[in-house]
Structure formats: structure tokens, C-alpha cells
Amino acid sequence: MQTIKGPALFLAQFASDEAPFNDWSAITRWAAECGYKGVQVPSWDKRLFDLAKAAESRDYCDDFKGRAAENGIEVTELSAHLQGQLVAVHPAYDIAFDGFADPSVHRDPKARQAWAVDQVKMALSASRNLGLTALGAFSGSLAWPYVYPWPQRPAGLIEAAFDELAARWRPLLDHAEECGVDICYEIHPGEDLHDGISYEMFLERVDDHARARMLYDPSHYVLQCLDYVAHLDTYADRIGMFHVKDAEFTPTAKQGVYGGFQSWANRAGRFRSPGDGQVDFGAIFSKLTSQGFGGWAVVEWECALKHPEDGAREGAAFVRDHIIRVTERAFDDFADGGADDAANRRMLGLEG
């Protein structure tokens, strides 16, 4: 067993052009004031982080970590979610996802994909330079428009999509191995890796690559009506990162999983601040602790109702209260009568 590290906060939902959220030193100071010990960094946000410099310069990385440490904050992981999304984009989403990329590659899918691959490579190199061992990412999606089998899918369509997805990610996974960094795919609707079965389809095609791991976020399983606690037993050796994000699913006579094209506030399934939803975090923290997960519990704040700064402050306390400090001795050691091999044999009636 291990004590989970935390609390930490994913900064993607908080970075902005307004102080203190537009400056690395200021935002880490704010995070510490909220009660956090670590932060997860969106590698694409130039207000906080220079990815190209970090990929090339250990001095830059040492300074970056040092400025956070001055505020009592550790860098837990980098995130390359947006760039990972662009490694594989179905044409239906070309316009929607162009905004994730540098303007120089807009309206040019091949150039955008090459840019995204280079970005993920840099994020892996930067993670190595920062002394990190995990990188969060999305897988991207080629098959997602066909997730519901109507119209009937032609034979081989999904297999071809996953073959191509694996071919695009395999060189990046090999670079991850060179860097000593796991790529932790967030299992997420909208991505081709959106549940255990689709993750296994991908894993089979990359030869069970040791660096192809999971970012576990139970909120996405609640909204898919999956067993998010049993998932931890099934994939215990593949869980590399952990997002603490809550959700609720309350179907009605009018809508269910698909949401009726409603806004987040009006969907049957919606994300909530930690503790305000239906996720059994007590069971999750117990399971991860018993399985020896030694990573960070990172709040990814998303809520359809609550103000983000309130959610951030409450989230720090929520995680702190759920972290289980692993015991160093059994609870009933006070009743230990002592024993040796001879005594054990006598208790079993094996003497004389």
C-alpha cells in the first residue's frame, strides 16, 4: 500500500488573462493559498508554460519548478490533452478542433496532425526534463462519429480506425519509453478510447505497450453508467494518473445518457464539484490505496453550477479529507501474543 499524494489541482480550467491566473508564480501562490500541494500543468498554455523551452532546457525546467516550490507547490504532471486530441481528428470535427492548434496549421488537417505529434513529443521530453513520470493526454478519435451502430457500420470500419489510431500513437509511445514517461490516456467520451473495451482494442494494436496507461476519472464512467470501482480492479496495473472529478446522472422521462442536445446545466448527466455529485470517492481512495497507487489525486474542477474559485477551495479540503495515510502497523497489534515456529507447531497440534 501507499499513501496517495495530494491534493493537487489541474490548472487548465483556471488559467486566464486576469491576475492571479495569468502568471506562473501568481497562480501557484493562489493554489497554495487554496490548500494545494501540487498542480498539473496544461502544456499548451503559454501564459504559464513554454513547452518548446521546457523540451530543450533543463535549466528552464529547474527554474519553472523552483518558482513553484517557493510557493510550496510541486509540479505533478503535464497535460497534453488538446494536442493529443489532434493526433487523430475525424473530418466531421475539423473546424471544431482547429482552435486547439496553432493558427499556422488551421484548415490544413495534415499539417495540424504533424504539429500535434510534435507537440506531444515535446511534452514527453519536457516531462523528462522536469523529472516527471506521467503525461496526461486524449487519444483523439477517428471512429467516434460511428459510436452508435446506426446506420449499420460496414464490416472493418472500426478495425481500420483503430489500426490507424495505433499507427499514429506507436512512435509517440516509443518516444515515451525513451523518456521514461507514461502516456496516460484519459478514458473519455468523444475519444476513441472512451471505455475499457475500446482501451483494450487500442492496447492490442500497440502490443500491450507498457507506456500506454490510463488517466482514471470516475466522472466519465458515471455518465456512461459504468462500474467505476470495479474498473480499478480490472485495470489496476494500468492506472497512471487520477483526476478527482464528480458527476451525477439523473435520468428523467425525457432524457438519459445522450442528453437531448441540452447544455451542461440541463443534461441528465452533468459534472459537479467534488462532493456534490454521486461518485463514491471513499471507495475509490480506499481501492487505490490498497492497490498501491502512488500518484497524485488531482482535482479537475468542472461544474455546471458552482463558481470555480469556490470549487477549487472546497476541492482541496475534499481531497485532503479523503487521502488515507497508510498505517505502519496492524490495528490489533496490541493483542499480539508473540509466537515462534515451535509455538505455531504446538498450536496446530503438530508436536509430540
Number of domains in the chain: 1
Average per-residue pLDDT for the chain: 96
Task: Tell me the C-alpha distance between 34 and 317, whole Å.
Answer: 9
Q: Cell match 513553484: residue?
A: 68
pLDDT at 333: 61
pLDDT, tens digit, 9 for 90 and up, residues 95-147: 999 999 999 999 999 999 999 999 999 999 999 999 999 999 999 999 999 99
pLDDT, tens digit, 9 for 90 and up, residues 198-213: 999 999 999 999 999 9
Inform me whether the pLDDT recorded for 177 exceeds 70. yes
Residue 233 lies inside a defined structural domain of this protein: yes
Inform me whether the pLDDT recorded for 253 exceeds 90. yes
pLDDT at 336: 66
Residue 50 lies inside a defined structural domain of this protein: yes
Query: Between β-strands 269-272 and 246-249, what pairing exists: parallel, antiparallel or unpaired?
Result: antiparallel
Closest CA to 129 of 65, 203, 213: 65
Cell of 219: 466522472
pLDDT at 327: 75
**Residue 44 contacts residue 51 (beta carbons within 8 Å):** yes
Task: Tell me the C-alpha distance between 11 and 136, whole Å.
Answer: 13
For 241, what's the count of Cα atoms within 13 Å in the CB-facing half-sphere?
Answer: 34
Inform me whether the pLDDT recorded for 328 exceeds 80. no
CATH number of the domain to which 11 belongs:
3.20.20.150
The stretch 331-336 carries a mean pLDDT of 60
pLDDT, tens digit, 9 for 90 and up, residues 259-300: 999 999 999 999 999 999 999 999 999 999 999 999 999 999
pLDDT at 330: 63
3-class DSSP assignment, residue 5: strand
Cell of 121: 513529443
pLDDT, tens digit, 9 for 90 and up, residues 151-172: 999 999 999 999 999 999 999 9
pLDDT at 331: 60
pLDDT at 166: 98
Inform me whether the pLDDT recorded for 352 exceeds 70. no
pLDDT, tens digit, 9 for 90 and up, residues 59-82: 999 999 999 999 999 999 999 999
**Positive or negative, the Cα torsion across 87, 89, 94, 98?**
negative
pLDDT at 351: 75
Q: What's the domain range around 229?
A: 5-347
**What pTM value is reported for the model?**
0.94
Looking at per-residue pLDDT, the higher value among 341 and 134 belongs to 134
pLDDT at 92: 96
Residue 105 lies inside a defined structural domain of this protein: yes
pLDDT at 101: 97
Give the whole-number percent of the chain exceeding pLDDT 90.
Answer: 92
Band the pLDDT of 342: cuts 50, 70, 90: confident
Residue 352 lies inside a defined structural domain of this protein: no
Bridge partners of residue 297, in order along the sequence: 242
Q: At residue 295, what is the residue type?
A: G
